[in-house]
Structure 1
Amino acid sequence: MTLINEMLTRPLDPSYAASAARRVAAGEPPHTSVGTVLVTLTAILIGFLLAVAAGSVRRDAPTAQGVRAELIDQITERRDVVEERSRAIAARQQEIAGLEAASLAGAGASLTARLQRLGIDTGSSAVEGPGLIVSLADRPGPADPEATGVDQGKVLSRDVFIVVNGLWQSGAEAISINGQRLTVRSPIRFAGAAILVNFRPISPPYEISAIGDPDQLPELFAQSVGGAYVKSLSDNFGIVTSVTAKDDISLPGATRVSIDRARPLGDGS
């Protein structure tokens, strides 16, 4: 009962009264009800602003999700348009090749063979033959949470670039990456989380198909820097790799072949 009576008769702790007495003795102004009211109003105002901000964030969240979904739809739509136009370009190229073959039927075998060779060299003509398929895929499983910077288990554009150069140096006559035919002007780049070939995004696994001499290409590639690099990717970073010899590989013609400079033949034809 003594504790209850003490709380009823003296609700304020004695230490508060002692602190107030010390402030007065030190010449400081005592606390007033006005100050308490201002503090209370300030706290209420801050709470109100926080509540308004939280409500605004919650209201804007569906809007942001809607904008993101719209952007994804636009990207998908544009990608479908690009795919459709690429197929149309390939079809027109086949028609042009047929018309050229028909018009050159009586022009002589040497000229026809020369044009076919140039089409293979420039990458504008579809080709088929024996060769190698080098496959690169990201390391299976989740990314290392303790890794910093670039994920060492992810295939990068420089990995693809080094392998492609190794194939060229080993005698490859034609190369494509996931169906994208390479020419002397084909860029291989890294943009965000995607690898771009001919400015087109490709997805793993990355299949690098190369046509070449079946008796020399596999051995020369295994001995090249590119072959050693493929083994290093597997041994050191867990990237899934494979090198497979094939008797018949079909590569499409490039859809982006342009001419910057041209001159007439010396005989005036």
Structure 2
Amino acid sequence: MRAPRRSTPHGETPYSPTSLLRALTANPYDVDTLREEDPSWAEETPPDNRITRTITVLLALLLGFAVAVSVADLRRDAAADDNPRALLEQEVLNSREDIDALDARQGSLEGDIAAAQETVLDDTDSESAQRLRVHEVAAAGTVLSGTGVVLSLEDSVPLPASPGVKEGTINRVTDGDLQIAVNGLWAAGAEAVSINGQRLSATSAIRTAGSAVLVDFRPLSPPYEITALGDPEALQAGVEAAESGDYLSELSTRFGIRTSWTTGTELSVPARALGTLREASPLDPSDPAAGTASQDDARKDSE
């Protein structure tokens, strides 16, 4: 074992905690002298010259280049077509296309069923077929077309931003706004009404879920186009002269909601999906009470 280069008066090395404690208690002024006589601590500090500075700069540049390459790779991976977000968005789009295709097929099949049912009724009982058509029209179960108006409601443009805010707020069209507009059209004499292709009936519901407006539990997106069949001039004048007109005017002037009227001669509203008849029983012409009860039972069993 190598002997220490210098011993204290008590036999310990200058780095021994015991030696420092003894020197401090014996003569405090000798502690600095012991440390100054051992310059080994200074040898551990790297020299400050041009070479060390150049090496430091090169290492910093190399580290910065490695960080920049890593960030670029991460961004490239995030923007790739096979990243999780892009795959999820594509899956949502594909699901929507499948839903639209299924809706179109459902409408086609319902049309075929209605045509077959009408053919059978025409061959057997023409009066029943006529009554069925009247009830289907009242229940919004048939496609209607003719003259009418289209009332469009759209969210406001971004309002002026406040100091320190980049973008201003946007006033959205709510379910209450659509309810008032639709009720105004019904009161003005509309024969049939639809919103963005969704037919409305006496049992339709216009609600909201989060930021989406639902019509019979189907989400809609702005602009909201309300198609109403009837006399165009009478419909527009009736809405503007009633409380619904004042409400729509206040929406436009106070909140910036954009409203517009369009008339048309070949407007069309789709049919509303009707329930499926699960069970039915024949009517007894000789018993009016039994016939009424049978009709009620058939209505209860239909969905």
TM-score, scaled relative to structure 1? 0.65
1:110–1:194 distance in 2 versus 1, CA, 3 Å: same
**2:269 paired residue number:** 251
Answer yes or no: is the 8 Å Cα contact 1:131–1:247 preserved in 2. Answer: yes
Q: Distance in 2 between matches of 1:131 and 1:103?
A: 33
Residue deviations 1:119-142, cap 9 Å, x none?
A: 1221221111222210111223x3
Q: How well do the aligned residues superpose, as a CA RMSD in angstroms?
A: 3.5
Structure 1 residues 52-71: aligned runs within 5 Å = 66-71=83-88
Structure 1 residues 15-26: aligned runs within 5 Å = none
Q: Distance in 1 between matches of 2:104 and 2:200?
A: 17
1:237–1:106 distance in 2 versus 1, CA, 3 Å: same
1:104 aligned counterpart, secondary structure: helix
**1:238 paired residue number:** 256
Residue deviations 1:66-88, cap 9 Å, x none?
A: 33333322221221111111101
Q: Give the letter aligned to residue 251 of structure 2.
A: L
Shift of 1:232: 1.8
Q: Distance in 1 between matches of 2:244 and 2:96?
A: 32
1:75 corresponds to 2:64: no
**2:208 paired residue number:** 190
Q: Distance in 1 between matches of 2:127 and 2:199?
A: 26
Q: Give the letter aligned to residue 96 of structure 1.
A: I
Structure 1 residues 119-158: aligned runs within 5 Å = 119-140=136-157, 142-146=158-162, 151=169, 153-158=171-176
1:102 corresponds to 2:119: yes
1:96 aligned counterpart, secondary structure: helix
**1:179 paired residue number:** 197
Answer yes or no: is the 8 Å Cα contact 1:222–1:228 preserved in 2. Answer: yes
Answer yes or no: is the 8 Å Cα contact 1:120–1:174 preserved in 2. Answer: no
1:253–1:73 distance in 2 versus 1, CA, 3 Å: same
Answer yes or no: is the 8 Å Cα contact 1:218–1:245 preserved in 2. Answer: no
**2:218 paired residue number:** 200
Q: Distance in 2 between matches of 1:165 and 1:261?
A: 33
Q: Distance in 2 between matches of 1:83 and 1:133?
A: 24
1:143–1:215 distance in 2 versus 1, CA, 3 Å: closer
Residue deviations 1:207-244, cap 9 Å, x none?
A: 10011345643332222232222222212222221123
Q: Distance in 2 between matches of 1:118 and 1:214?
A: 25
Structure 1 residues 161-180: aligned runs within 5 Å = 161-180=179-198
Answer yes or no: is the 8 Å Cα contact 1:174–1:182 preserved in 2. Answer: yes
Q: Give the letter aligned to residue 203 of structure 1.
A: S
Point out which structure has higher relative CO (alpha carbons under 8 A, 6+ apart).
Answer: 1
Q: Give the letter aligned to residue 244 of structure 2.
A: G
**2:17 paired residue number:** none
Q: Give the letter aligned to residue 173 of structure 1.
A: E
1:174–1:184 distance in 2 versus 1, CA, 3 Å: same
Identity %: 35
Q: 2:131 aligns with which of 105, 114, 126?
A: 114
Q: Give the letter aligned to residue 234 of structure 1.
A: S
2:213 aligned counterpart, secondary structure: strand
**1:43 paired residue number:** none
Q: Give the letter aligned to residue 139 of structure 2.
A: T
TM-score, scaled relative to structure 2? 0.59
- Structure 1 residues without counterparts, runs of 5 or longer: 1-57
Q: Distance in 2 between matches of 1:98 and 1:174?
A: 22
Q: Distance in 1 between matches of 2:270 and 2:224?
A: 16
Q: Give the letter aligned to residue 177 of structure 2.
A: D
1:175–1:105 distance in 2 versus 1, CA, 3 Å: same
